[in-house]
Structure 1
Amino acid sequence: MSKRIDVKNFNVYYGDFLAVEGVDMVIEPRSVTALIGPSGCGKSTFLRTLNRMHEVIPGARVEGHAYMDGQDLYGPDVDPVEVRRQVGMVFQRANPFPTMSIADNVLAGVKLNNRRMSKGDAADLVERALRGANLWNEVKDRLDRPGSSISGGQQQRLCIARAIAVEPQVLLMDEPCSALDPISTLAIEDLITELKQDYTIVIVTHNMQQAARVSDTTGFFNIAGTGKPGKLIEMDATERMFSMPKEKATEDYISGRFG
């Protein structure tokens, strides 16, 4: 299911403002890639370009190429809705639909894609997605309760279940643990480790320990100053990035000297 993504000479604009400049990156399949860097350096902006979510902002555009297994995600005949089906997204704060049941939350994306299925198939998909998100045993007896009735950590795993129910090939996670307590954070991190067996995962995080724990590869973004574009400074295997970074700016950020 998982796919490789090749990003080449990639620039991201909001109107005339160059937000992210010159990104070259390879995201390997069945791996976790962490994007780190100070606030405002373009990590989340870049992440959203990988499933064309940034296009919902008027004036947003890109230059360059992002290939998923050889297909340009920005090709002229590529449907952005199809890109978002293949590249799922989990946001910083859990956002289950509060008036929908837990089961209907899982099925929301599938229904949005106009997939019709029998009640039995729907029930099987709900169980499969919730098991995939390590949530089934906790909610199987209350699937008709509102998605907002469970804890914050459970809601975030419900959002992951909703994302994987549509069978994407890539999962993007924008600081998925920033609003969670340490126990819920650990549950999400364990889940990420399990999910990479089937998915290509890209995670934005401000937590250096989290990046070191869950990722195989780490990319460090930085910004030269206010009004300047964010840039990918360095990218390498996580173990090397955290022990022997090539760039002093990377070392300073990881060691807490700035950011």
Structure 2
Amino acid sequence: MSKRIDVESLNVYYGDFLAVEDVNIEIEPRSVTAFIGPSGCGKSTFLRTLNRMHEVVPGARVEGKVNLDGEDLYGRGVDPVRVRSQVGMVFQRPNPFPTMSIRDNVLAGAKLNSRRMSRAAADELVESSLRGANLWEEVKDRLGKPGSGLSGGQQQRLCIARTIAVKPDVILMDEPCSALDPISTLAVEDLISELQEEYTVVIVTHNMQQAARVSHKTAFFNIAGTGKPGKLIEYAPTQEIFNNPKDRATEDYVSGRFG
């Protein structure tokens, strides 16, 4: 598990509208990379191109390359469903399947990928995934209860367990803590730090302190104005972005002068 991402000259479109322009970025395996920037700058749109979720939107398309350990995820004949199992996504709001138990939520992705397994193998996958999401001890005695009955922070970790169960190489997180209270946010941040030991993790966040706490490198995206494409302005080790940025716009953003 855990693979390198190399993005080359990527342009992201919604129909004829260029939403994100000419992104070039290298993301190392077993690391946490944060995407920051003002609302509407394209960071979440770009994040979704990394597992081909962007193209689910009618008329959406990309130009350029997204390489996962050298394989172009947009190459001819590449199955987007396989891509999404390799590159998992955790969304802004916890979205456990409301009619499913905690156990069935964890297994949902694996079953969707037609993985047949014995009851014992399924039980082992549920436990290992929930342990990987730091949730096992909290839910091990109520695996048959609905996932929607958990707290917000627990639901988000359940969604992370569901993602882990598919055994991806990369985990994408789109503002995973924005709907959580401070204690739940801390639990998810601690989990992110543990996940990078096995996975490549990419997180979009509006929380500057969170980016500084959890990431190794930070990418700052910006937009020149309404109707203009978002652009990657600066990408560097997180301490450099926050303490010694090279671009004035980066400095203004991380210091709170705009955004």
CA shift, 1:228, in A, is: 0.2
Task: Kindly tell me the number of residue pairs found equivalent between the two proteins.
Answer: 259
Describe how 1:176-255 pairs up with structure 2 within 5 A.
Answer: 176-255=176-255
1:77 Cα deviation from its structure 2 partner: 1.2
Paired with 2:187 and 2:229, the residues of 1 have a C-alpha distance of: 35
Quote the Cα distance in structure 2 between the aligned partners of 1:158 and 1:55.
26
Provide TM-score, normalisation by structure 1: 1.00
Query: Mind listing any 5+ residue stretches in structure 1 that lack a counterpart?
Result: none
Q: 1:48: which partner in 2?
A: 48
Cα RMSD (Å) of the superposition? 0.3
Aligned match of 1:139: 139
Q: Which residue of 2 aligns with 1:159?
A: 159
Query: Structure 1 segments of 4 or more deviating over 6 A?
Result: none
Deviations 1:43-75 (A, max 9, x none): 000000000001110000000111000000000
For residues 88-114 of structure 1, give each alpha carbon's deviation from its aligned partner in whole angstroms, at most 9, with x where no partner exists.
000000000011000000000000000
Q: Which residue identity lines up with residue 59 of structure 2 in the other structure? A: G
Letter of the 1:257 counterpart: R
Alignment of 1:8-87 (within 5 A): 8-87=8-87
Task: Note if 1:125 corresponds to 2:125.
Answer: yes
TM-score, scaled relative to structure 2 = 1.00
The 2-side partners of 1:17 and 1:104 are apart by: 40
CA distance in 1, matches of 2:158, 2:184: 13
Distance 1:171 1:218 in 2: 16
Distance 2:182 2:222 in 1: 27
C-alpha distance in structure 1 between counterparts of 2:236 and 2:149, whole Å: 41
Identity %: 78
Quick one: which amino acid aligns to residue 49 of structure 1?
T
SS of 1:221 mapped into structure 2? strand
